[in-house]
């Protein structure tokens, strides 16, 4: 963790404002920012667990021990670990850049990153507003809206279509169903279609430039070949194809029109070089 913190700080000082133009750097900052509290909570839970065990052993289980604070810290720790695992797994998308088609999803997310940030801010405000309403409206009559955390979680679950319309009428027979209808119309229909529109438009723009993207998969083969040569599994030189040079040779060949062209000579030389690379 300290190494990655030093690495990111070094990149910030080196790239300055250019550092913030890369979306992946924000993910690194999130991992580092949530990593330190996770370490602190882990150490606290270890110390608290040892202390509680010693108290139980000392009193032989006859005295009451308050575990509420420890349980709350453990719950927060679980959420933090889950979020860090999600971010760390999400970083594997960077590996998909080795192929222009496999990297299409990463390029689409990068294309719509600015619009997605604005969208999620709007989505958070909308969820907060409706969550607060359902908490105030139903906290005394419905168990899953009895606390603010439960109300926000139930609001999130309701956005996926899992809800009970009869519960909304327990607080008020008219206002409850009307507000839930407004919530369903806003979140499930309007905001969901807005998110799909942002992604589809970005995908269409990226797809137009797909043919112009560099296919880095051949670079992987080149690296593997160099590693095999380094460890002695292959001998000879690696042939690298220069597309610009081949285009020039095509033009010269068309001009000459007869005889063995320079391009054919190059191809013969390349075949001989590739044969030298075989086991």
Q: Is the pLDDT of residue 240 over 50?
A: no
Q: Is the pLDDT of residue 84 over 80?
A: yes
Residue range 8-26: average pLDDT?
A: 85
Per the structure block, which two tokens stand in for 108? 């689409």
- pLDDT at residue 161 tops 80: no
Asked if the model's pLDDT at residue 209 lies above 90, the reply is: no
In the predicted model, what is the mean pLDDT of residues 232-240? 52
Higher pLDDT, 173 or 220: 173
Contact 109/84 with Cβ under 8 angstroms?
A: no
Q: Taking 70 as the threshold, does the pLDDT of residue 168 lie above it?
A: yes
Q: Report percent pLDDT > 90 for the chain.
A: 10
**E strands of the chain, at which residues?**
none
101 confidence band (pLDDT: 50, 70, 90): low
Those residues with Cβ within 8 angstroms of residue 253's Cβ, 6 or more apart along the chain or in another chain: 261, 262, 263, 264
Q: Are 154 and 144 in contact (CB under 8 A)?
A: yes
The better pLDDT of the pair 231, 217 is held by 231
Closest CA to 31 of 80, 87, 77, 78: 87
Break the chain down into helix, strand, coil percent, rounded to 5: 80, 0, 20
Looking up tokens 């040079």, which residue turns up? Answer: 245
Highest-confidence segment of 5-9, 255-259, 272-276: 5-9
Confidence of residue 80 (pLDDT cuts 50, 70, 90): very high
Q: Where are the alpha helices (DSSP H) in 22-112?
A: 23-59, 68-90, 104-111
Name which residue leads in pLDDT, 278 or 5.
Answer: 5
Going by pLDDT thresholds of 50, 70 and 90, the confidence category of residue 242 is very low
Residues 250-260 have a mean pLDDT of 49
pLDDT given for residue 79 in this prediction: 92
Q: Computed from CA positions of residues 108, 114, 120, 126, in that sequence, does the dihedral angle turn out positive or negative?
A: negative
Give 18-69 pLDDT, tens digit per residue: 888 887 888 889 899 999 999 999 998 888 888 888 877 777 767 777 778 8
Q: Domain map of the chain by residue range?
A: 1-98, 99-215, 217-277
pLDDT band at 16 (very low <50, low <70, confident <90, very high): confident
Q: How confident is the model at residue 264 (pLDDT cuts 50, 70, 90)?
A: low
Architecture of domain 99-215: Orthogonal Bundle (1.10)
CB 65 within 8 A of CB 53: no
Question: Residue 272: is its pLDDT beyond 50?
Answer: no
Rounded Cα–Cα distance for residues 180 and 161 (Å): 12
- pTM score of the predicted model: 0.51
> Would you state the pLDDT for residue 187?
86
């Amino acid at each position: 963790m300290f190494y990655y913190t030093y690495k990111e700080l070094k990149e910030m000082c080196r790239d300055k404002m250019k550092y913030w133009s890369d979306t992946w750097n924000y993910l690194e900052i999130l991992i580092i920012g949530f990593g330190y509290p996770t370490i602190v909570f882990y150490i606290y839970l270890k110390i608290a667990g040892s202390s509680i065990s010693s108290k139980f052993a000392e009193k032989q289980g006859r005295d009451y021990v308050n575990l509420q604070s420890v349980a709350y810290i453990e719950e927060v720790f679980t959420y933090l670990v889950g979020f860090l695992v999600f971010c760390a797994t999400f970083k594997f998308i960077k590996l998909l850049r080795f192929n222009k088609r496999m990297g299409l999803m990463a390029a689409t997310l990068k294309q719509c990153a600015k619009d997605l940030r604005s969208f999620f801010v709007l989505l958070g405000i909308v969820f907060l507003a409706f969550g607060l309403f359902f908490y105030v409206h139903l906290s005394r009559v419905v168990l899953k809206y009895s606390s603010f955390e439960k109300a926000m979680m139930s609001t999130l679950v309701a956005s996926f279509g899992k809800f009970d319309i009869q519960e909304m009428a327990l607080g008020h027979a008219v206002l409850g169903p009307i507000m839930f209808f407004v919530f369903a119309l806003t979140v499930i229909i309007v905001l969901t279609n807005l998110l799909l529109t942002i992604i589809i438009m970005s995908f269409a723009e990226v797809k137009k430039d797909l043919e112009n993207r560099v296919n880095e998969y051949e670079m992987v083969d080149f690296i593997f070949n160099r590693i095999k040569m380094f460890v002695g599994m292959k001998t000879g030189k690696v042939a690298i194809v220069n597309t610009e040079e081949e285009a020039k040779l095509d033009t010269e060949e068309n001009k000459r029109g007869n005889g063995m062209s320079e391009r054919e000579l190059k191809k013969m030389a390349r075949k001989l070089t590739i044969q030298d690379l075989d086991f």
